[in-house]
């Protein structure tokens, strides 16, 4: 095992501690404790890279799902994540914090105008009933089947459901666990902004504007099947409702009115179903977003997705699949700029993961997006010589190192 001089130097002055040799994959990937006044503080993170090939031509208008901009036919450094945290302990008045930074092309898509800060919050526990856990600051969105950390998802590319969801909130989040089967999260945040979440790689209207007189309400109820359910134990049902001010200047035509902000209603239902077959599980998710202005719908999007995952016992192999359908109007949650009619897309994704190296996630993925309404959503810019395309095929290799 090689240790660089920089790490040795930090250890010599007591800023970090050296791990006692290489351990098993899961143990080696565990966060490393820092030698500080708060000895429970840990540092962790990952490096996310990819290589993408899109057969054919016409990469100027890629499929409009998150993180799909500028990655066609090339090698990519997607994201570098560094997270320093001191989690809550079991005490009644426990306190902790999290500071997480992201850099790389995907960082601005996740963080909007707050890059490189991904999360930064103080965590507190109040001894009320079973205990209420509070987060004050900037924290990850609580709604959605998929998250911003690609290694934690079944597939490397994101769904259209993830694309229309906010990623980060600034506000106060409370969580109460009624029992091992029932968990409720409710928060108050500045806005339900969806910034830079489309395939163009940038926000249509810039950074979200904080509205002093209005705040968003975010919520998620989780129900988990107990051990008494046998082979179904661990299955879960999720329901979320977020309501509040949406993106600044957002409207159905994408033109924008300075100072104009719409109200956004986001509904989410998700499920994970375990099966009697070891390593086989299924999932489903439904997202619906409506933007309202004085009672009139300014834009909408709806997505539905089905998931399947199979991880044979004692195997390094995992096979994951996703099928999804998305439709929406011309607004920047699903960007089909210049399409006056409702846009519809069907997408199929297959991912093979094989964990050959310790701490490394290596995946091969094939994805096919196709127009479900006959319109060429992935091209059709004759002035630039871009041919009309109803389909987009992508083959990608994804390699992630977790530390």
Looking at the fold, whether 10 and 159 belong to one and the same domain comes out as no
Element holding 111 (H helix, E strand): helix 107-111
pLDDT at 192 over 50: yes
| In-domain check, residue 371 | yes
Burial (CB count within 10 angstroms: exposed 0-12, middle 13-18, buried 19+), residue 132:
middle
Looking at the fold, whether 384 and 317 belong to one and the same domain comes out as yes
Looking at the fold, whether 325 and 217 belong to one and the same domain comes out as yes
Looking at the fold, whether 11 and 141 belong to one and the same domain comes out as no
pLDDT of residue 387: 58
For residue 21, give its domain range. Answer: 1-30
**Using CA atoms, how far apart are residues 150 and 81, in angstroms rounded to an integer?**
11
Q: Of 162-171, 357-366, 394-403, which gets the smallest average pLDDT? A: 162-171
Looking at the fold, whether 243 and 270 belong to one and the same domain comes out as yes
| In-domain check, residue 355 | yes
* Cβ–Cβ < 8 Å for 321, 307: yes
| In-domain check, residue 148 | yes
How confident is the prediction for the chain on average, in pLDDT? 80
| In-domain check, residue 92 | yes
pLDDT at 3 over 60: no
Token output for 100: 């997480």
Looking at the fold, whether 16 and 137 belong to one and the same domain comes out as no
* Cβ–Cβ < 8 Å for 183, 351: no
pLDDT at 207 over 50: no
Looking at the fold, whether 91 and 147 belong to one and the same domain comes out as yes
Q: Which of 72 and 294 is assigned the larger pLDDT?
A: 72
Report pLDDT digits (tens) over 210-236: 556 688 999 999 999 999 999 999 999
Looking at the fold, whether 174 and 307 belong to one and the same domain comes out as yes
pLDDT at 402 over 70: yes
| In-domain check, residue 36 | no
Task: Give the number of C-alpha atoms closer than 13 A to the C-alpha of residue 149, restricted to the C-beta side.
Answer: 19
CA distances from 93 to 39, 130, 173, 210, 296 (A): 18, 12, 17, 32, 46
Looking at the fold, whether 85 and 166 belong to one and the same domain comes out as yes
Mean pLDDT of 44-68: 87
| In-domain check, residue 109 | yes
* Cβ–Cβ < 8 Å for 10, 116: no
**Using CA atoms, how far apart are residues 99 and 138, in angstroms rounded to an integer?**
9
The CATH number covering residue 124 comes to: 2.40.160.10
| In-domain check, residue 37 | no
Give percent above pLDDT 90 in the chain. 55
Looking at the fold, whether 65 and 123 belong to one and the same domain comes out as yes
Looking at the fold, whether 128 and 233 belong to one and the same domain comes out as yes
Q: How many domains does the chain have?
A: 2
Q: What is the DSSP string of 118-164?
A: EEEEEEEEE-STT-EEEEEEEEE----SS-S-GGGSSSSSPPHHHHT
Report pLDDT digits (tens) over 247-301: 544 433 344 444 456 788 999 999 999 999 999 999 999 999 887 665 555 678 8
> What confidence category does residue 203 fall into, taking pLDDT thresholds of 50, 70 and 90?
very low
Mean pLDDT of 356-366: 97
Looking at the fold, whether 127 and 222 belong to one and the same domain comes out as yes
**Using CA atoms, how far apart are residues 168 and 172, in angstroms rounded to an integer?**
12
């Amino acid at each position: 095992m090689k240790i660089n001089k920089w790490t040795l130097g930090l250890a010599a002055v007591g800023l970090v501690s050296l791990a006692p040799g290489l351990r098993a994959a899961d143990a080696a990937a565990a966060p490393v404790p820092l030698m500080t006044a708060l000895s429970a503080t840990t540092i962790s993170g990952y490096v996310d890279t990819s290589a993408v090939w899109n057969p054919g031509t016409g990469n100027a208008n890629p499929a409009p799902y998150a993180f799909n901009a500028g990655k066609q036919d090339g090698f990519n450094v997607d994201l570098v994540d560094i997270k320093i945290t001191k989690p809550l302990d079991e005490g009644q008045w426990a306190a902790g914090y999290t500071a997480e930074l992201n850099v790389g092309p995907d960082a601005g898509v996740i963080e909007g105008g707050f890059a490189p800060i991904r999360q930064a919050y103080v965590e507190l526990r109040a001894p009320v009933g079973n205990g209420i856990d509070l987060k004050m600051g900037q924290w990850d969105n609580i709604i959605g089947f998929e998250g911003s950390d690609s290694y934690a998802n079944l597939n490397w590319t994101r769904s259209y459901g993830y694309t229309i969801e906010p990623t980060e909130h600034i506000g106060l989040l409370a969580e109460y666990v009624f029992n091992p089967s029932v968990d409720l999260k409710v928060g108050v945040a500045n806005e339900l902004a969806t910034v830079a979440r489309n395939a163009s790689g940038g926000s249509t209207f810039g950074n979200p504007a904080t509205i002093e007189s209005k705040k968003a309400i975010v919520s998620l109820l989780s129900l988990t099947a107990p051990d008494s359910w046998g082979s179904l134990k661990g299955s879960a049902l999720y329901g979320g409702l977020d309501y509040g001010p949406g993106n600044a200047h957002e409207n159905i035509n994408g033109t924008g009115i300075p100072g104009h902000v719409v109200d956004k209603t986001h509904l989410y239902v998700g499920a994970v179903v375990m099966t009697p077959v070891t390593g086989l599980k299924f999932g489903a998710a439904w997202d619906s977003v409506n933007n309202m202005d004085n009672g009139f719908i300014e834009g909408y999007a709806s997505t539905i997705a089905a998931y399947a995952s199979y991880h044979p016992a004692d195997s390094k192999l995992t096979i994951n699949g996703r099928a999804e359908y998305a439709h929406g109007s011309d607004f920047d949650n699903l960007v089909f700029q210049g399409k006056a009619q409702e846009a519809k897309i069907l997408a199929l994704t297959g991912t093979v993961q094989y964990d050959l190296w310790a701490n490394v996630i290596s995946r091969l993925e094939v994805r096919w997006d196709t127009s479900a309404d006959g319109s060429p959503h992935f091209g059709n810019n004759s002035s630039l010589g871009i041919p009309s395309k109803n389909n987009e095929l992508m083959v990608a290799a994804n390699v992630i190192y977790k530390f």
